[in-house]
Structure 1
């Protein structure tokens, strides 16, 4: 999604609409939160869905987004593909037909494959993740373009998976690569609502009876959209009965750093605000930052959804001279838990997690390689044992589940994560 910036006892079974598959006994739900809607009082994960592979029968049918910083744990996937490209210290290499460190063939999944989406949403169900925000990139939605067809196909498969596993989803427009707001309006009307009919799904997220949509990119210093045009877009969605989330720059309130100073009235128009933190340290300024955002939102009648991330690095894309390896270290869960702890102390009920499947910037919380035995042999990837502690490939899914339980008041507040590093 965004390039790096320095920032679920039992499941309620809805028998009237059919039983959900593979419902585990230890999944958590918050009845009060359920009454509030699908994003307030819930945990949402960002979902890229942008990985494709040669031979996956997708419109693109080529390797795409192979600049991987982490390697996925692919043991549970139904369909995998060989010959992927990937980055190494800023240089793309491949096609790679070699093995993992354990001697098994190195294969990659495709996000266009329905079995991939089903597995990911099964994990979301198992680990208590309520909702997924599907990233839709404003520079990839031109009618007739192959990337639009790719994105449309992934969106339909994601809808199917969400319906199958009882999760919610919504569209998150990423405007970082475009200022064509008319194209966003046309895409929502003609494709999301019209052609794909995503919002007609019982899995499409609603809050306060309104369809949820999120917008990322407005208000960044590098983005040239005017406040008037940005406000027009927000109000356009609201006029169509949407609950609009603003995924804002980290310093949105102050208009400093990555944020423009003339967007305050735009931010006030959002129904919910979620500041982008990836690349921000958790230091003495972190809790006051969260509390300041909370207080501003409360004072202005806006819902608040802080964003947590497990760590990030981007060396295989940019090279070590630009982006050091393991730059914002995960510290075997300590880094992410410190964010959950700050949210709990601040009394906020909703959380966005960046990201579920973001292998490129090493923010992924889904199952990835534990150590060098599970990554391509002789190649560098940021494996989960990078900080000297071996954790299982599902550790960050389990840690997120524990963090959600703490936020929802189902386990007590604890400063340090209670999540075991490994499970039997």
Structure 2
């Protein structure tokens, strides 16, 4: 699980700032320059031309849930339970949101009480081929372009499952004509500098031969999430980080950085002295989970953070892929889609190069867009899970997938730029 400094960040970035709205630069770019055009002031070709990530909507794909009896090498309640050896229950639950599992044929009963509708409280396993197939079929159905497959330290107990997930994702992406790329989350990875290179060389590089592997500027895409974060899980020196980035570039890769929110100022969640690390990436995707939770904060970030971020990226020839958050459902942030739509609107108006949805299947933190329990009838009785109708507005279980579809259309100029959400909560 990623470690966040939420309270500190919200105070530093939001609390003391005004919530005025940003200027209207149009969806084609903050300066009015289109993909691949030359900025005659800086003599830098910016942004990169449209490809598999530039001009596209990417979702962060955890793929990290397992169940006892699912046939996986781990054979534990991986990420569903706080005690992986015990069946999920109100006492051991590791999730904040309950998934809608109606489309899965391979599900596993838990120790939760039955759902409000009387059905057993069962969960899916990401290890199941059918689960991956279903989730990628949703990506196709709802026009999601790319899945960034999270890959944590593969040397530990989870390694064999991670390896299997890469193969399953490749097959599903090829089947449903979606793109995917490897996104290394280096949090807590002690021997990262040498092991990430070995992992790419010996295991992950082979996936770039797939027709579904994302390419940008004719180069395979790799993302590294975690360089520069100011905590004990990300302690590498700037020289180590730059070495790893440059090594991936030497392998012919287009390298995305999942970086701290305040990377440019190098304050709060960012270590100081890492600006050269951030400038070494081909694309920057600053983390946003826990930083904003309502529409006004999105407007504030547009002015105070996103606009200067994009200006810096333009001046340095770096593509910009900000996060879009559906909101923490359990914390009542979603406002039946208005919170997420405002971010689509703001980031499209800003003219960023790509969008990164945080996340696709992150039921642990409650910020998933994949199908989610819509009403009290769809969650275990008495377990306290918040459902999509929490503010009195009925929403279908696929609502945030549909919202992502429409936000992506607006970003690609297939829908008119509009601050008014066009997506109905119930279709």
Normalising by structure 2, report the TM-score: 0.83
2:414 maps to which of 388, 396, 410: 410
Distance (whole Å) between structure 2 residues aligned to residue 162 and residue 215 of structure 1 = 21
2:247 maps to which of 224, 236, 254: 236
**Equivalent residue of 1:156, what SS?**
helix
Residue 345 of structure 1 deviates from its aligned partner by: 1.4
The answer as to 2:216 corresponding to 1:207 is yes
For residues 163-220 of structure 1, give each alpha carbon's deviation from its aligned partner in whole angstroms, at most 9, with x where no partner exists. Answer: 0000000011001122422111111111212xxx212111111101111000111001
Aligned counterpart, 1:158: 169
**Equivalent residue of 1:44, what SS?**
strand
2:372 maps to which of 364, 368, 373: 368
The answer as to 2:56 corresponding to 1:45 is no
The answer as to 2:86 corresponding to 1:82 is no
Distance (whole Å) between structure 2 residues aligned to residue 237 and residue 347 of structure 1 = 27
Q: Does the CA contact (< 8 Å) of 1:168 and 1:204 recur in 2? A: yes
**Equivalences for 1:329-344 in 2 at 5 Å?**
329-344=333-348
The answer as to 2:306 corresponding to 1:290 is yes
The CA RMSD over aligned residues, in Å, is 1.7
The answer as to 2:277 corresponding to 1:263 is no
Aligned counterpart, 1:130: 145
Q: Does the CA contact (< 8 Å) of 1:279 and 1:328 recur in 2? A: no
Distance (whole Å) between structure 2 residues aligned to residue 235 and residue 43 of structure 1 = 26
1:312 maps to which of 316, 322, 328: 328
Residue 344 of structure 1 deviates from its aligned partner by: 1.4
Structure 1 residues 244 and 328, CA, compared in 2 at 3 Å: closer, same or farther? farther
**Equivalent residue of 1:36, what SS?**
coil
Distance (whole Å) between structure 2 residues aligned to residue 37 and residue 198 of structure 1 = 18
2:360 maps to which of 356, 359, 363: 356
For residues 360-407 of structure 1, give each alpha carbon's deviation from its aligned partner in whole angstroms, at most 9, with x where no partner exists. Answer: 001100100001110111111121112221100000000011100111
1:190 maps to which of 202, 216, 221: 202
The answer as to 2:394 corresponding to 1:390 is yes
Residue 4 of structure 1 deviates from its aligned partner by: 4.3
Structure 1: where are the runs of 5+ without partners?
A: 8-31, 84-94, 314-325
Which stretch has the larger CA shift, 381-390 or 70-79?
Answer: 381-390
Distance (whole Å) between structure 2 residues aligned to residue 108 and residue 166 of structure 1 = 27
Distance (whole Å) between structure 2 residues aligned to residue 407 and residue 80 of structure 1 = 36
For residues 220-269 of structure 1, give each alpha carbon's deviation from its aligned partner in whole angstroms, at most 9, with x where no partner exists. Answer: 11121100000000000000000000000001000111111211001111
**Equivalent residue of 2:109, what SS?**
coil
Aligned counterpart, 2:134: 119
Aligned counterpart, 2:98: 71
Aligned counterpart, 2:235: 224
For residues 142-162 of structure 1, give each alpha carbon's deviation from its aligned partner in whole angstroms, at most 9, with x where no partner exists. Answer: 1xx541001101111111100
The answer as to 2:283 corresponding to 1:272 is yes
The answer as to 2:72 corresponding to 1:36 is no
Q: Does the CA contact (< 8 Å) of 1:362 and 1:382 recur in 2? A: no
Residue 331 of structure 1 deviates from its aligned partner by: 0.7
Q: Does the CA contact (< 8 Å) of 1:349 and 1:408 recur in 2? A: no
Normalising by structure 1, report the TM-score: 0.84
Residue 298 of structure 1 deviates from its aligned partner by: 0.6
Distance (whole Å) between structure 1 residues aligned to residue 268 and residue 336 of structure 2 = 29
Distance (whole Å) between structure 2 residues aligned to residue 79 and residue 35 of structure 1 = 41
The answer as to 2:125 corresponding to 1:110 is yes
Distance (whole Å) between structure 2 residues aligned to residue 345 and residue 269 of structure 1 = 26
Residue 81 of structure 1 deviates from its aligned partner by: 0.7
Q: Does the CA contact (< 8 Å) of 2:67 and 2:76 recur in 1? A: yes
Aligned counterpart, 2:88: none
For residues 297-322 of structure 1, give each alpha carbon's deviation from its aligned partner in whole angstroms, at most 9, with x where no partner exists. Answer: 11100011111011126xxxxxxxxx
**Equivalent residue of 1:405, what SS?**
helix
Residue 36 of structure 1 deviates from its aligned partner by: 2.5
Structure 1 residues 35 and 294, CA, compared in 2 at 3 Å: closer, same or farther? closer
Q: Does the CA contact (< 8 Å) of 1:42 and 1:130 recur in 2? A: yes
2:258 maps to which of 235, 247, 250: 247
Q: Does the CA contact (< 8 Å) of 1:41 and 1:350 recur in 2? A: yes
Q: Does the CA contact (< 8 Å) of 2:223 and 2:258 recur in 1? A: yes
Aligned residues: 368
